[in-house]
Amino acid sequence: MTSPQATTTDSDTIVAVASAPGRGGVGVVRLSGPDAIVVAQKITRLRELPARFANYTKFCDVDGTVLDSGLAIAFPGPASFTGEDVVELQGHGSPIMLDALVRTAIKLGARMARPGEFSERAYLNGKMDLAQAEAVADLINAASEASAKAAVRSLQGDFSRLMNGLSETLVRLRVQVEAAIDFPDEDIELLAAPGITAMLADLIEQVEQIITRTRSGVRLTEGARLVLIGAPNVGKSSVLNRLCGEDRAIVTDIAGTTRDLVREQLQLNGIPVELIDTAGLRDTNDAIEAEGVRRARAAASEADLVLAVYDLADPSSKEFIENWLEEFQTERSVIFPTEIKSNVIVIENKSDLDVDAENKGFPGKQVLTYRVSAKSGANFEELTEQLVELLTGDESGSGIGTREQTYSARSRHLLALDEAATGLVDAQSAITEGHGAELVAEHLRHAQAELGSVCGEITTDALLGEIFSSFCIGK
Ligand SMILES: Nc1nc2c(ncn2[C@@H]2O[C@H](COP(=O)(O)OP(=O)(O)OP(=O)(O)O)[C@@H](O)[C@H]2O)c(=O)[nH]1
Ligand SMILES: [Mg+2]
């Protein structure tokens, strides 16, 4: 575990309901800080709270009124979640009583915890690094079992260990490069030595491999938004129903059936996905349908992946997609210059019909096509794998989340890794182009700072605030 740059200086004792909002069999109030045990002793009226022992007790208000009864468990620091003195009061899961307990703790000197403050203190006290603290929140928010398992792996430090391994190799490389700075007459030759160039090349390869794995992790954690688009009546709603395994959207043979966006949450081999069905795109005088078409276009422009559907038996619907692709790719290329190919998949639907041979394929278009029948379900398993592969970059889209090495990650981590890769590649070019050690060292320093920001060795208060404020209260 890496040691964080600061320990908590906050001497407040914080309190919050740690169990889920609403009613439950059991509800937990958590206290952390220097006065946690004293406050809990006053609430429980117990003279002693032996460490890690489940004390069955009453919980009282400051005036002695009994609010509830339950278990009080003390975890004296540093052997606690936050590293500080922590007490958990486990009462009955009545939201009213839990609130009353929190108010009592506040009257006794504690203050209400901010969202994520328990995890933030755990991080600041070196109980876990930043990527692990984020995994706590990702575990709580996980939308699929695969996402939850991946978050547990990150929480246990799988991702952090990889990052720390990279960081250590980079430190060893930097030692050599920084040493060359002291020999300004020979630094260029020193840097071009095979020891350094091979180490750098190896490091770049490692970072790239980790980027690929991290991308899958980000998908598992953050999910993806998929949007179905196409001419009316091509079978978009039928495709949505097939992928959901349920009749969620209305299907009829009337063109213009779907008007508004239909959103469904589902999992594609463990990846949490929001799939959005849209109104068939066409020019129309119907004000309601026109609004639907506008919404469809807007949804497509914000999608992680667009599923452009056409009807194999209807050449005009294919032509429609061809024209739409031109327009869409131009629009997207401005925002995502490198992603054009991977964010659209063309679905050739109604393969069960006797289709015209001429109507097959997209000659000259660099776009992935997939042939299915929403009616018979033909090819849907393969389509799902293909979608997962497109979303994660993982070639065996079959079970990304079930694999042992998949850990959870966030876009923030991916951006930092990309920046680190850029720093390393820049250092490599600087060596090849015969620049001095100063410049090479500067690129490597940049890469190190980016790697360090993932686990939180190098962070700013603003970044910490942003990360922990998205947690729930009590965590
Ligand atoms: N033969 C065959 N018919 C299909 C298939 N998929 C959909 N259909 C039929 O095509 C018609 C239109 O299907 P929808 O799913 O409503 O099409 P849509 O693209 O959502 O249509 P709009 O909402 O009007 O834009 C219905 O009669 C479906 O039963 C398929 O794979 N094979
Ligand atoms: Mg529809």
The domain that holds 237 is classified in CATH as 3.40.50.300
Report CA 194 to chain centroid distance, whole Å: 38
Higher pLDDT, 326 or 234: 234
Whether 194 shows a pLDDT value over 50: the answer reads yes
- Residues 22 and 99 occupy one common structural domain: yes
- Residues 26 and 53 occupy one common structural domain: yes
What is the model's pLDDT at position 362? Answer: 65
Strand, helix or coil at 317? helix
Q: Is 393 a member of any domain?
A: no
- Residues 208 and 298 occupy one common structural domain: no
Strand blocks (E) in 234-291:
262-268, 271-277
What is the model's pLDDT at position 381? Answer: 92
Residue 449 exposed, middle or buried by CB count within 10 Å (0-12, 13-18, 19+): middle
What is the model's pLDDT at position 183? Answer: 82
Higher pLDDT, 335 or 396: 396
Q: Is 356 a member of any domain?
A: yes
- DSSP state string for 378-417: TTHHHHHHHHHHHHH--S-TT-GGGSTT-----HHHHHHH
- Please check whether residue 275 is in contact with residue 384, taking contact to mean a CB–CB distance below 8 angstroms: no
235 is written with which tokens? 């079978």
Q: Is 203 a member of any domain?
A: yes
Q: Is 236 in the pocket of ligand 1 (CB under 6 A)?
A: yes
The helix (H) or strand (E) run that includes residue 17 is strand 14-17
What is the model's pLDDT at position 18? Answer: 93
Tell the residue nearest (CA) to atom 17 of ligand 1: 235
Q: Is 96 a member of any domain?
A: yes
Q: Is 461 a member of any domain?
A: no
Tell the residue nearest (CA) to atom 30 of ligand 1: 350
Instruction: Please tell me the least confidently modeled range out of 146-155, 186-195, 219-228.
Output: 186-195
Instruction: Please tell me the least confidently modeled range out of 117-131, 173-187, 320-334.
Output: 320-334
- Residues 265 and 159 occupy one common structural domain: no
pLDDT, tens digit, 9 for 90 and up, residues 4-14: 444 444 589 99
Q: Is 373 in the pocket of ligand 1 (CB under 6 A)?
A: yes
Q: What confidence category does residue 460 fall into, taking pLDDT thresholds of 50, 70 and 90? A: low
Q: Is 284 in the pocket of ligand 1 (CB under 6 A)?
A: no
Q: Is 167 in the pocket of ligand 1 (CB under 6 A)?
A: no
Cross-sheet strand order for the sheet of 224-230: 262-268, 271-277, 224-230, 305-311, 344-349, 368-371
77 CA distance to ligand 1 middle (Å): 62
pLDDT, tens digit, 9 for 90 and up, residues 259-269: 999 999 998 88
- Residues 349 and 252 occupy one common structural domain: yes
What is the model's pLDDT at position 7? Answer: 43
288-299 average pLDDT score:
91
What is the model's pLDDT at position 160? Answer: 92
CATH label of the domain that carries residue 415: 1.20.120.430
Give the ligand at the shortest distance from the Cα of 378. 1
What is the model's pLDDT at position 361? Answer: 62
Q: Is 389 a member of any domain?
A: no
Q: State the maximum Cα–Cα separation within the chain, in Å, rounded to a whole number.
A: 86
- Please check whether residue 233 is in contact with residue 313, taking contact to mean a CB–CB distance below 8 angstroms: no
Q: Is 252 in the pocket of ligand 1 (CB under 6 A)?
A: yes
Q: Residue 240 CA: which ligand 1 atom is closest?
A: 15
Query: Percentage of the chain surpassing pLDDT 70?
Result: 88
Higher pLDDT, 55 or 183: 55
- Residues 182 and 229 occupy one common structural domain: no
Average model confidence (pLDDT) across the chain: 87
Residue that is last in its domain, among 78, 113, 128: 128
Closest CA to 216 of 274, 142, 150, 160: 150
Residue that is last in its domain, among 112, 128, 144: 128
Give the ligand at the shortest distance from the Cα of 236. 1
- Please check whether residue 445 is in contact with residue 174, taking contact to mean a CB–CB distance below 8 angstroms: yes
Q: What confidence category does residue 1 fall into, taking pLDDT thresholds of 50, 70 and 90? A: very low
- Residues 247 and 167 occupy one common structural domain: no
287 CA distance to ligand 1 middle (Å): 23
Whether 335 shows a pLDDT value over 50: the answer reads no
Tokens 């706590």, located at residue = 136
Q: Is 180 a member of any domain?
A: yes
> What sign does the dihedral 450-452-455-461 (CA atoms) show?
negative
218-242 average pLDDT score:
93
Neighbours of 352 (CB within 10 A): 15
Residue that is last in its domain, among 378, 397, 425: 378
| Domain count of the fold of the chain | 3
Strand, helix or coil at 267? strand
**Burial profile 325-339: b = 16 or more Cβ within 10 angstroms, e = fewer:** beebbeebeeeeeee
What is the model's pLDDT at position 357? Answer: 54
Higher pLDDT, 51 or 340: 51
Closest CA to 388 of 57, 144, 58, 84: 144
Protein residues with C-beta less than 5 angstroms from the ion ligand 2: 236-237, 257-258
Q: For residues 2 and 339, what is the distance between their CA atoms, to the nearest angstrom? A: 35
Angle value at C-alpha 115, between 418 and 101, nearest 5 degrees = 160
- Residues 188 and 228 occupy one common structural domain: no
379 CA distance to ligand 2 middle (Å): 20
Residues of the domain holding 277: 224-378
Closest CA to 63 of 117, 100, 21: 100
Whether 287 shows a pLDDT value over 70: the answer reads yes
- Please check whether residue 276 is in contact with residue 246, taking contact to mean a CB–CB distance below 8 angstroms: no
Q: Is 274 in the pocket of ligand 1 (CB under 6 A)?
A: no
**Strand pairing class (111-112; 14-17):** parallel
- Please check whether residue 303 is in contact with residue 336, taking contact to mean a CB–CB distance below 8 angstroms: no
Q: Is 391 a member of any domain?
A: no
- Residues 288 and 373 occupy one common structural domain: yes
Alpha helices in 182-234 (DSSP H): 187-191, 194-222
- Residues 117 and 197 occupy one common structural domain: no
Q: Is 280 in the pocket of ligand 1 (CB under 6 A)?
A: yes
Q: What confidence category does residue 216 fall into, taking pLDDT thresholds of 50, 70 and 90? A: confident
Query: Percentage of the chain surpassing pLDDT 90?
Result: 55
CATH label of the domain that carries residue 122: 3.30.1360.120
Q: Is 251 in the pocket of ligand 1 (CB under 6 A)?
A: yes
pLDDT, tens digit, 9 for 90 and up, residues 114-157: 988 999 999 999 999 999 999 988 998 888 888 888 899 999 99
Whether 253 shows a pLDDT value over 50: the answer reads yes
Q: Is 292 in the pocket of ligand 1 (CB under 6 A)?
A: no
- Residues 208 and 235 occupy one common structural domain: no
- Residues 306 and 270 occupy one common structural domain: yes
